[in-house]
Each structure stands twice: as structure tokens, then as C-alpha cells.
Chains A and B, each alone.
Chain A
């Protein structure tokens, strides 16, 4: 991938910036964890960590397990946790009865992850959590900071975010709070796919079309639905994304149940 051009290639730039962020997180936060959803973005994240930290992953990787993942996802998790030498945390999320009953039904399933996350924070005392969210996925995520301070119970105070510029990040240490670190914030969906292709990063096969349908975004069974597609290779997926007008999270119920459903989830700790 050498290029004689003066400019770094766009993917090189994104990679270098993400590695910079990961290394910064490692210096500035003492007890780091990485959230692995088993989806394409967090696979890219693990890949970047191994580059940033000279082939190793120097902190645990947590899969917040609802028990509702697709069988292909579990198979993928078990294989690559071993192959990549991950220190895997796979605690089960609290049941749906524990979630806020005023939330719409699909959103409540997703809210189990917020509870699972709160439990993991308590149990492992993380002060930094690395996640694979991107600004182009969803309008409230577009307002995120790269280093995002979370209050007690993981609360996101969207209206009171600190300034962030010139790669200078806010890290405040108060008991019971933590910092979310978002190394992929500047990436777009198609950037992720191009990078997966270039680096040959393994994926859950559900992303590729079968019988005219594929998953564009992977989540729990029952609240994640496939979209119409004939893309069976990464190249075909990239072509599809360059022309589609359907948003990435169209197949995610909780984004559409109410205007503020996703924001409410996020305010209480969801990714």
C-alpha cells in the first residue's frame, strides 16, 4: 500500500488518526475496556488496537451479551476471541423486566445493553470505554466528542459537552464516572467497508446477501432486520452504499419507534 503521492490516502489518514486516539486513551485512562458488539465497526476497532499496540490488545474486550445474538455471531465471537488472543468479558445483560417500562418495546430490548454496561462498569471499574460509534450513523451520535465524559450511571450530558479541538481531549476523573472513547467517529459506513476490504478483516457472514436480503447493521434477533440487497461481496456492498438512499440503521427498530427514543437511550448510557 505504499503511495508515492505527497498525500496520505484517505484510509491511511483515518487509520493514523484512530491509532493516535487509541494511544492517547491508553496514556490518559488507567482502566480501559473495549466494547465488542461483534459487528463490523468493533471488528475494525480491534484491528486498529492491534496495530496501535504492536500486535497486542492490552485491555479487556467486553461483549454485552443479551443472549439474543444470531448463532453466526456467537460462532464468530468464539473463534476470533481465541484467534486474536482477546481477554474477553461476556457477562449476560440484566433481563428486560429491569428496563424502563415507558420506553417503546424494541427500545427496551436495546436498553438491556445499557444495564449490562452499567453492571460491567461497576464490576470492572472501567474509567475508559472504547466503542465503535460513528458520526454518520445517527444524528445524535453526530454531536459526539472523541473523548466523551459520562456522568454517574453513564449519563451523557449532550447539552454540556466540553470543547474539543487540536487533538486536546477532556479527561476529568470523578468517582463513578468514566470517559467514552470514540476512535471511529470520523469514519463513514463506506470507509469502514473499504478498510475491511483493504485489511481483509473477518466478519460475521450475515452482512452478505442471501436470498435477496442482507444485514446492514447487526443487532439482536427480533429488533434487527435485513434489508433488500444482492451484494454478496465487499465490492458489491461498496457499490451498493455508493448509490443507496436508505440509511444504515433502517433495520434497527429502536431508532424509529419514537422521535426521541434513541436520544433517551443514549442519555442513559447507551452507545
Chain B
């Protein structure tokens, strides 16, 4: 009797009041989304959770009973969340909603998400706001189509903390075997997506088993109840330690000062910081930061700020402010993994808008790489993405896009997809792709003579020998000497020299990251065309970053040879054949590789020629040997057969 009284007493005490005498800064409510297949009991689970934690406002229970009875139902928990008339009349959840509750540990906001495939857009709307998810699965019916689809979408949305609720255990006699079967299926599936389920809880939402109170009917289960599991979740770490990304939202004027306003997505920003503004790469120095309460010396991820610069920088919405030397990637063609939410399918050649933080880029769907079969997690082919579908596609833009890889920086590595101002899908960005295939009105015309015929006549294969390295490392000298030697042996050899090309083909380009990218793209495209006529193309181009060289490699494809002409900056600066190092050190040249811009060493070059250790003739011999070994068609005496 005393026990019962205690129980009633503790129930009638609002959970909110617990710990209320301890005055602390209020915690942000921890956002949890409840997902799963339709009719597996998501809304009931939430209703029960609120009821069992005594979190319902006064009169709400009576109101629910009343509207349930009006529809001839006993007690429909889901009406708590399904507030719209159409939802109550049809007995389904259409749209996502939120409801607040708290445990003695912390406050929560519970996000309900509809389980019908038709309302996937609303599920995504809810789930994208969550830090963790409860995936509800029916113990009797097991894992179903939307269980898998929701799990896949969680992985794309970056929600990686997942609790599995095996619901309706009352329908399977609370049997451990039934739980084990479903638990195994769901865990296997989640693990294939790289998600480790944190807890797999057998429960019955309708009867309140293992929600807030431990179920006596499932004494075999030793894990936490749902409520205990929620309290065990660890919130996401702050994003202040990642590289700075401040997308410009708008540009305001205050007197003569121009202010870039926006929210810091990752990292931190201090007055005096040297930054670069992507995609153009213009350098700037932070003069002031205002975070809504006047000037501050520093701001960090999550804050909305207004920033001024010492330089008269060109500021525009959509640019990304990044630390000097740590710019986002820049490309015009990007591979993405996309989910599609619109009834009208996405097809190859579709024109949509990529919305990456505050930037907007009209893009064309250049190519479908694979369709994801969510049921079996296998690849399918196709060129159409329907509502609720997931695919890897290539998007092409006419202007350079600044972005991060989703695996490095999720916020600047994801984007919304829009059509006519309406959001119709989303994607995570996997990396730059080459512009090898041409979509749209341009049709590729084939050479009348094929590559094999050219190569047979030449006696050697075509190929692209890409010499990368600092200015002064010896690339031009090496390529010219090598061309002479091979020509004398009857080879068809061309040289594409960076400096020469900048006088003609690329004379409209500067040295900003986006322009370097375009420079490399053009040279690689030309080299590829020449290689297809059986020519050995020696490219001598600084191409200082991995990204630039990867772009070249992806354009050229087979027959690309990365050769690192290696010499340290001191050696190159001492040689300084063109007087460029002196000019750069005097500050007369900006963004000069090795002095004011970085050179990223190739990780796996096909050949390294260290010109600070060897003289040029020796290096040239090694290069010629490499070319003969890989490109000669016949090597009877170590020399190619001439014409």
C-alpha cells in the first residue's frame, strides 16, 4: 500500500519540476526523430512516451479521449501529434511535427516523421533536424520497405546515432526469438550503411512495455528501456574545431564599410585572421566581427556574424570565407549521391538548381552513375530518378562551385536541389568529376581514323606525360630535351608548356584557384585529343594541388602518367631562370606556388625525377626510358620501331 502511494505520488509530480531548484543555463532540447514504416507504431510510441513521463499538458488526455471516441476509437495516441483533421480522419501522419518533453537529465524535442513513401519529403524535413533517431520496426511484420528507405536516408542526412525499437512485442507473445530475428535483420542492414545501432529494444508502445518502465513480460531483456536509452545518447560535438567555413549570406553597408553577413558553419574566426574567399580565392584580412551585440574579437561555429575586411574585397552572396590555404574544393563537375522527393522524376539532361549553403548554381544532370536499390543495397542502371529514389549522379555547372567533400565537412559538403524555387531533393557531395562526357545538344563526332590505326602507324601508343613541380624545377628544360630525343627516334611528340599556353589558349586566365582549375581542364582536354591521334604529349605545368592533377587524370583517362619533377624551393629559387621567385618574394606576384601558395606533393606519382640530386640529362634518360617502357609497341632492341 505504501509502495502504491509512493508510485502515484511520483507520477503526479510533473517531470519538469525535477531539478528545477538547480539554476543553470538552460540546455538546448536534444532533437530525436522517430522514423520507420507506416503502421509500425511511431505516433503511438511518442504518445505513450509523453504519457508515461507525465509530460502531457492538463486536459490533453481528456481531449484525446474525446476526439478518439467521436471517431469510434478507444484511445488513439497518435491524435496527439496528428493534429490535422485530414490526418485524424484518414488515420495517417501526413506531416512532421514536434513535441517537447524532459527527463531529469535533459529536455528533448521529439520529431515525428510520416512513414508513407508519398510523404517522404516530410520525413526528410523532420529527420534532417535531428541528432539521433529511433527506428521503429514491427516485431510481427519485421523490416519493411520504408524501414530500409528511412535508414538509408538517415545515413545520407548524417544522422548516425540510431536506436532500434522493435515494437508490438505483445503481438508475438513477448518472445525473445521474435525480437532476435528482427534485431538481426535491422542491425545487418544498418551496418551495411555504416551505422552501428546503439540499442535494439523490444517494446510495446500500446501497453507501455519498456518505454519508461521495464517490462515484466520481457524479463529476458537486459538492455535499457527506451527512456534510459535516450538519456544515454551523447550530443554531437561542437563544430568549432573544423576548418572555418563562413558562407556569405548578404552584403550590408554601414557608412563606408561593407559587411559580409552570414553564419559560421564550422570553425572560428578572429579579428586579424588571413582568409581567402572561395571560389575566386581573393585574399582578405578580418578587420571587425559583429555577432549581434557589437564588436567581438572572435566568433565561432553557429553564430550569425557581420564581418568587415581591411582590403576592398569583392563580396557576394554565395562565396565562402575560408582560412588562407584551406579553401574548399572548386570544380564545375561534381559527383553527388542524391535523394529525390518530387513526383516529377529527375532524368539525365534535367536542369535544376544546386543550393549549397547560400550559393545557387544552375546545373545539368550530366550522367547517372548508378541507381541505389534500397532493398538489396545493390547498384542498378538507369537514367531516371523517381520520388523517394536514391542515385549517384554527375552534375555540371557552367561556373565553378566551391564545396567540401561530405565526409570531411558535412555542412559545406551537402546541398539542396531546387526547381522553380521549390526544394525537390538533396544530395551529399562526393568529389569533382571530369567533364569527359558531353550531354545536351552537343553530339560527339568521332575521328575518321581510330586511335589504334594512328598508333600502329606511329609504332607507339599515344599518352600524356604530365610533368608537375615547382617553377624552376626543370619541367620545361626536361620536356624540350626529351621531345628532341624521341623525335630523332621517329616518335610523334608534342609539348604543351604552361607558360606558352598562357600566351595563347589560356591568356584569359589568372592564377586564382578557379582559374588554375580551368587552365588545367583546358590543357588536359587538348592533351587528350592529341593522345587520341597516337601522339606522346609532354605537359609541363606546375599544377600544384592533388585536386588539379586528379582532374587532369580523370579527363585523360588511360595513358596518363604523373611525373613529379622534384626540387625544393631553395634550389628552384636559387636557379630562378625567369626571375619569378625574386618578384614573388618582393610581393610583386601574388599566389606564387612555393612562396605564397602551397605545392601539394603527389602521393603516388608514376615517376619521380629529383633534379636537385640529378642533372637534367640523367633525368631526361630516366624519363625517356619510362616512356619507352610504357608506350612503345615493339621493344626488340629497347628502341621503338620507326615509321
Contacts and interface: CB of A to CB of B under 8 A. Distances in A.
Interface of A: 1-2, 6-13, 15-17, 19-20, 23-24, 26-27, 51-54, 135-136, 139-140, 142-143, 145, 158-159, 161-173, 188, 190-191, 194, 239, 242-243, 245-247, 250, 259-260, 263
Interface in B81-132: 81, 83-86, 94-100, 121-122, 124-125, 128-129
Contacts of B234: none
A242 B23 CA distance: 12
Contact of A142 (B99, B129, B263): B99
B249 interface: yes
B504 interface: no
Contacts of A190: 26
Contacts of A145: 125
B355 A168 contact: yes
A168 B360 CA distance: 11
Interface stretch (B186-194, B415-423, B510-518): B415-423
Interface in B390-427: 411, 414-416, 418, 420-424, 426
B32 interface: no
B435 interface: no
Contact of A143 (B96, B292, B415): B96
B204 interface: no
B250 A23 contact: yes
A10 B83 contact: no
Contacts of B122: 161, 163
Given A167-B357, A168-B423, A27 B85 contact: no
Interface in B1-36: 14, 16-17, 20, 25-29
Nearest to A22: B304
Q: Interface centre among B60, B303, B421, by most A CB within 10 Å?
A: B421
B548 interface: no
A162 to B, nearest CB: 5
A1 B293 contact: yes
B292 A6 contact: no
A244 B622 CA distance: 83
B426 A165 contact: yes
Given A1-B293, A142-B99, A172-B420, A16 B303 contact: yes
Given A11-B26, A27-B250, A166-B426, A54 B306 contact: yes
B250 A6 contact: no
Contacts of A143: 83-84, 95-97
B42 to A, nearest CB: 15
Contact of A52 (B59, B304, B411): B304
A145 B97 CA distance: 10
A63 B414 CA distance: 40
Given A143-B84, A158-B95, 13 more contacts: A8-B238, A9-B25, A10-B27, A11-B26, A16-B291, A54-B252, A139-B81, A139-B97, A142-B83, A164-B125, A167-B357, A169-B423, A194-B26
Given A27-B250, A166-B426, A260 B97 contact: no
B383 interface: no
A174 to B, nearest CB: 10
Contact of A246 (B28, B58, B95, B129): B58
B250 A26 contact: yes
A173 B599 CA distance: 47
B98 A247 contact: no
Nearest to B119: A159
Nearest to A16: B304
Contacts of B57: 245-247
Nearest to B90: A159
A70 B480 CA distance: 89
A199 B288 CA distance: 23
A19 B293 CA distance: 12
Contacts of B423: 162-165, 168-170
Contacts of A10: 25-28
Given A167-B357, A170-B421, A27 B249 contact: yes
Contacts of A54: 252, 254, 259, 290, 306
B498 interface: no
A246 B424 CA distance: 40
Contacts of A172: 420-422
A93 to B, nearest CB: 26
B100 A136 contact: yes
Listed from nearest, the 5 A-B pairs whose CB atoms lie closest are A168-B416, A139-B83, A165-B128, A163-B121, A19-B304
A210 B77 CA distance: 38
Contacts of B81: 139, 142
A140 B98 contact: no
A261 B270 CA distance: 52
B362 interface: no
Given A12-B303, A54-B252, A159 B98 contact: no
Contacts of A16: 263, 291-292, 302-304
Nearest to B240: A6
B302 A263 contact: no
Contacts of A250: 59
Contacts of B100: 136, 188
Q: Interface centre among A26, A165, A171, A190, by most B CB within 10 Å?
A: A165
B49 interface: no
Contacts of A169: 423
A53 B253 CA distance: 10
B157 interface: yes
B317 interface: yes
Interface in B124-164: 124-125, 128-129, 157
Interface in B418-445: 418, 420-424, 426
Contacts of A170: 418, 421-423
B292 A15 contact: yes
Contacts of A7: 238
B125 A142 contact: no
Contacts of B80: 139
Nearest to A3: B25
Contacts of B300: 6, 8
Contacts of A242: 16-17, 20
A243 B20 CA distance: 8
A165 B303 contact: no
A171 B99 CA distance: 26
A260 B300 CA distance: 45
B67 interface: yes
B46 interface: no
Interface in B50-95: 56-60, 67, 70, 80-81, 83-86, 94-95
B84 A263 contact: yes
Interface string B288-323: 001111001000101110100000000001000000
A54 B26 CA distance: 27
Interface in B571-625: none
A165 B416 contact: yes
Contacts of B302: 8, 12-13, 16
Nearest to A185: B98
A173 B84 contact: no
Contacts of B303: 8, 12, 16
Q: Interface centre among B14, B304, B420, by most A CB within 10 Å?
A: B304
Contact of A260 (B26, B85, B129): B85
A145 B309 CA distance: 35
Contacts of B296: 2
B226 interface: no
Nearest to A262: B83
Contacts of A245: 14, 56-58
B304 A166 contact: no
